[in-house]
Every structure is written in structure tokens, then in C-alpha cells.
A and B are shown apart, each in its own frame.
Chain A
């Protein structure tokens, strides 16, 4: 297997810190007066910031208006338009299965107990578009440590909430997917320091369309692995199912690692269109990076594996 070499990111792609920080001043000022800049989101107290990418973050408006969240409909604009009735608070997450201390955790308490970080990650959708999103949240490993996984636990299974009365996509005659939406990670992937549970973006709580109030973010995998509105995590010995793989196993794998060399049967994964850049006439495709550019950190998780077979 060829040795992975991380890509160099040119300095020209780096947003000057001054410009980037201005937004924070604005948010901080708004928070000071007890205001939220956005009606659907409340300011979060962010303890630390670490950026793993230098690309310019995608404008908040794009991040919150262009979403795949089939619980609210299959169009990109559906989640923003049809998630108004969804109640993300109060919220609990059950963690059970092969753990010494299973429990049901109140999300508000978790947010108080765990230091909330800002992490700017690239997000690559399996549909060949991408964004750069400043998430707020914490390492999934922190929550896993709390429940003490048993030695027999090899995987983590995740589950989204089912609330047809608040989620129009779960309602009616036409149901594109089976509910609940489920996802899974190998335990070592789940414990990787890059893997996070996000409770906010751009310094505010998650809008409903982005997976409020808590969602998974695994930046080296295709976006559909980032299960939203999580209510349950179960540690298992055998590989759990994941919704898209169950629907079309030849098109969507369990691992779903971003890989420009393994195409989707219907389209190429070699390039991607970065949302919010270029506009109508200057839209350009950029090369997709192996493991979405996080190879240095995560390639070791898959050493010895045939990534064409385990896609």
C-alpha cells in the first residue's frame, strides 16, 4: 500500500485571522446583551478553539440553508424550511450496550460538564460537494469514557430520534428511508480525537436543520456518517447497520471514508465543488483529498485494509 502523504494547504487559502475574529466580536457583543444573532440559535460558551484546516469557513447562511436531513424532506432547502416545529430541548442521550456504566445523559448537563471547543472541519458530502464548518462541541471519546466500554465492545451504533409529528419527512405517504436513521463507527474511530459530537456551529447552538441539538461529526468520512439529532448510542460487538448502506450497499459503504480513488457508481469522487465559493460563473471543482485531508491523523486506523473493498 502506498504511503499516504498529507496535502500542503497554500497560504492563500488561509483567512486572515483579523477578518475571521471580527465575527466573534460581533457574536460576543450580541451575547453580552443577551441577544442571539439568529432567532433559532442561542450563543454557546466556547472554551477553546482549534482549527485543523486553513480554508475559509463556508458562510453560515449556506451551512444552514443547504442541508441533507431527510427527516425534514429530500430537497436541500427542506430542512431549513420544514424544521420549525422540531423541539430540540429538553434532550437526553441514552448510552447502553457493552458498557460498565450505561446511562441516560441530559444534554444541558453534558454541555456544562464538558469544555465546548470550536473546531473548523472540512465536510465532504458523498454527492461531491463540500463545506468548511466551524463546529462547537466535544470529543465523542469524553462521553464514551464516562460509560466505560467493556473489552468486548468493538463498535458504536447511533440512532436518530423519530418524531413524525415534528419531522414532516417521517410522515405521510412517501418515505424515502427507513426510520430511525442509524449509523455506526468502529470503536477506535469513535474514540479518535477528531471525532466529535457537535452541539453548535458558528458559536451558537445547532439550528434544527443541522441536526439539533447534538450530532456526530467525523471529518474524514462522507457527510452521511454524521448522524443528526442523536438519541441513543449502543456499544456492540458486531458491526452495526447504517441507513444508506442498508438502502444501497453497492453505493454506500460502512466505512464511507472520503476517497477520491473510489468512485460512487453513478458519479466521480475525484473532485468536489466547495459550496459558497465561485458563485454561478466562477464555480470550480477542487480535487478531493484522501481521507478529506485528514490522512496524517487517521490513515493508521485502516492500515492493511483494502479501501476499495471496505469503502
Chain B
């Protein structure tokens, strides 16, 4: 692996706020299509699935930040928080669409669904696990929690497993697209298990860590 020799590229030309704006555009666009009756025969289901799919996409992008840097020298660390939060925003909208548009706030059915069905339970678990990560995705929490911040944010692996299984169980059979997404999640999680030869790189890599991470921890290769 030539990772050690690859030159680290820093992507600083795109401002972070633009990632949020562009990242939220699919939801806005799809909402407009739904509201104007352009989402087909079952608009609620289409909207719900769309939001869930984008949550999965941002989860994959978030998980890809570290490998991209370690393997290819592409540094997107600056955008990782935005990508993670976008995943959370889409997961929240996905849940809201399920509660409000799909189940029309019939809470008894929702509670029954969550308790009885592993499929719904896993989705809900992924969302609940996302909450502490979203709440601590700010520089203050990183400084405050120190090493614990890194430990806490390892929950993203559990989230990826819950969300991946939830996503797989959502349809009667797995489609080709689903195989690709699930394959990517498995690959990104597997990379963490088998990440070879990182120990010697730690010191050097920490120099490339973004500002926010510097003070007390060097978590650059933990995530």
C-alpha cells in the first residue's frame, strides 16, 4: 500500500456551508415534487424511501472520509462533520415522514411496530444512536469530551450496522442498488477491522488533522 507516500491534498476551496446547502437540496426538491403531486401513485412511500436512502448515502460518505485520506491522501476531514450531520438530518426527516405522513401520528401502531418488528426496531435504534453523535458534533463538545469524544463517536459503526440491516429489510427482495449500498457499508466497516499498517503512520497523520481536533487528541485514525 502506497498510502504513506501519497501526497495529502487539502480541499479547502469549497466552504463548509455549501455542503449543507447542496446536501439538503435533494430533500427540498423531493418535497416540492410531493407537494405538487409529482411523486407518482404512492407519494408518501416514495418520499419516505428517498429520505432514508439519502441518510444511507451520507452515512457512507461520512464513513469514507478516513479511508479516503489514509488510502488515497484525499483530505475531506473538514467536511466530515457536515456529512455526518446531513446523515442525521435525513434520518430525522425519514423518521418524521414515517410518523406524520405514513402513520398519520397513530402512535399506538408506531409503538407496536417498534416493539414487534426488528425491521422498525433497527431503524429506530440507528436514529437513537445518532442523537448523541449529532448533539456532540461541535467543537465545544470535542474539547470538552476529549478522548471520550472519539470513543462516543465510534457508535457510528453500530449505527451503520443497524441502518444497513434496516435498509436491507425494507424491501421484499434486495435490488441491485441495495447490494451496492450494502456492499459499500460492509467494505467501509471491514476496512476498520483490517486497516493494515496504520500504527507507524499515526504521528505523521496527526499533523494533517484539522484544527478542531488538535488540542488534546489525535483522533485522525480512529474514525
> What residue in chain A is nearest B37 (Cβ atoms)?
A279
Of the residues B41, B104, B176, B179, contact of A275 by C-beta under 8 Å: B41
Of the residues B35, B45, B109, B171, contact of A270 by C-beta under 8 Å: B109
Return chain B residues, CB-CB under 8 Å to A77: 40
- Tell me whether A247 and B173 are in contact in the complex, defined as CB-CB below 8 angstroms, given that A266-B117, A280-B101, A285-B103 are known contacts: yes
Return chain B residues, CB-CB under 8 Å to A74: 171, 173, 175
A48–B103 CA distance with the chains assembled, in angstroms: 39
Return chain B residues, CB-CB under 8 Å to A273: 42, 44-45, 102
> What residue in chain B is nearest A59 (Cβ atoms)?
B41
Report if B172 contacts A (CB, 8 A).
yes
Report if A76 contacts B (CB, 8 A).
yes
Report if B146 contacts A (CB, 8 A).
no
Decide if B44 touches A280 in the complex (CB within 8 Å). Answer: yes
Report if B73 contacts A (CB, 8 A).
no
Report if A195 contacts B (CB, 8 A).
no
A61–B39 CA distance with the chains assembled, in angstroms: 13
Report if B119 contacts A (CB, 8 A).
yes
Of the residues B43, B169, B174, B176, contact of A283 by C-beta under 8 Å: B43
Report if A177 contacts B (CB, 8 A).
yes
Question: Chain B binding site: helix, strand, loop or mixed by DSSP?
Answer: helix
Contact with A along B91-107 (1 / 0, CB 8 A): 00000000001111010
Q: Which of B65-111 contact A (CB under 8 A)?
A: 101-104, 106, 109
Contact with A along B112-124 (1 / 0, CB 8 A): 1100111100000
Q: Output the residue of B113, B117, B172 with the most chain A CB within 10 A.
A: B172
A75–B50 CA distance with the chains assembled, in angstroms: 13
Return chain B residues, CB-CB under 8 Å to A267: 113, 117, 119
Report if A174 contacts B (CB, 8 A).
yes
Contact with B along A92-136 (1 / 0, CB 8 A): 000000000000000000000000000000000011010000000
A267–B175 CA distance with the chains assembled, in angstroms: 19
Decide if A285 touches B35 in the complex (CB within 8 Å). Answer: no
Q: Which of B139-180 contact A (CB under 8 A)?
A: 169, 171-176, 179
Report if A148 contacts B (CB, 8 A).
no
- Tell me whether A76 and B175 are in contact in the complex, defined as CB-CB below 8 angstroms, given that A266-B117, A285-B103 are known contacts: no
Q: Number of contacts between A and B (CB, 8 Å)?
A: 74
- Tell me whether A76 and B106 are in contact in the complex, defined as CB-CB below 8 angstroms, given that A127-B172, A283-B101 are known contacts: no
Decide if B47 touches A280 in the complex (CB within 8 Å). Answer: yes
Return chain A residues, CB-CB under 8 Å to B109: 268, 270-271
Return chain B residues, CB-CB under 8 Å to A244: 172
Report if B34 contacts A (CB, 8 A).
yes
Decide if A280 touches B119 in the complex (CB within 8 Å). Answer: no
> What residue in chain A is nearest B173 (Cβ atoms)?
A176
Return chain A residues, CB-CB under 8 Å to B39: 280
> What residue in chain B is nearest A173 (Cβ atoms)?
B176
Q: How large is the interface on B (under 10, 10 to 19, 20 to 34, 35 or more residues)?
A: 20 to 34
A195–B31 CA distance with the chains assembled, in angstroms: 40
Decide if A266 touches B173 in the complex (CB within 8 Å). Answer: no
Contact with A along B45-63 (1 / 0, CB 8 A): 1010000000000000000
Report if A91 contacts B (CB, 8 A).
no
Smallest CB separation, A172 vs chain B (Å): 9
Smallest CB separation, B184 vs chain A (Å): 16
A307–B171 CA distance with the chains assembled, in angstroms: 25
Return chain B residues, CB-CB under 8 Å to A75: 175
- Tell me whether A276 and B41 are in contact in the complex, defined as CB-CB below 8 angstroms, given that A267-B117, A268-B112 are known contacts: yes
A275–B103 CA distance with the chains assembled, in angstroms: 15
Decide if B104 touches A176 in the complex (CB within 8 Å). Answer: no
Return chain A residues, CB-CB under 8 Å to B37: 279-280
Return chain A residues, CB-CB under 8 Å to B175: 74-75, 174, 176
Decide if B44 touches A66 in the complex (CB within 8 Å). Answer: no
Decide if B45 touches A129 in the complex (CB within 8 Å). Answer: yes
Return chain B residues, CB-CB under 8 Å to A65: 40-41
Return chain B residues, CB-CB under 8 Å to A33: none
A255–B40 CA distance with the chains assembled, in angstroms: 31
> What residue in chain B is nearest A265 (Cβ atoms)?
B117
> What residue in chain A is nearest B43 (Cβ atoms)?
A280
Return chain B residues, CB-CB under 8 Å to A61: 41
A15–B213 CA distance with the chains assembled, in angstroms: 65
> What residue in chain A is nearest B119 (Cβ atoms)?
A266
> What residue in chain A is nearest B170 (Cβ atoms)?
A266
Could you list 26 examples of A-B contacts with CB < 8 Å? A66-B41, A66-B42, A75-B175, A76-B40, A76-B42, A174-B179, A263-B116, A265-B117, A266-B117, A266-B119, A266-B169, A267-B113, A267-B117, A268-B117, A270-B109, A271-B109, A273-B44, A273-B102, A279-B37, A280-B35, A280-B39, A281-B35, A281-B101, A283-B43, A285-B104, A285-B106
Q: Which 5 A-B pairs have the closest CB atoms?
A: A66-B41, A62-B41, A174-B176, A176-B173, A280-B34
New A-B pairs, 5, CB < 8 Å, besides A173-B176, A244-B172: A74-B175, A77-B40, A176-B175, A273-B45, A280-B39
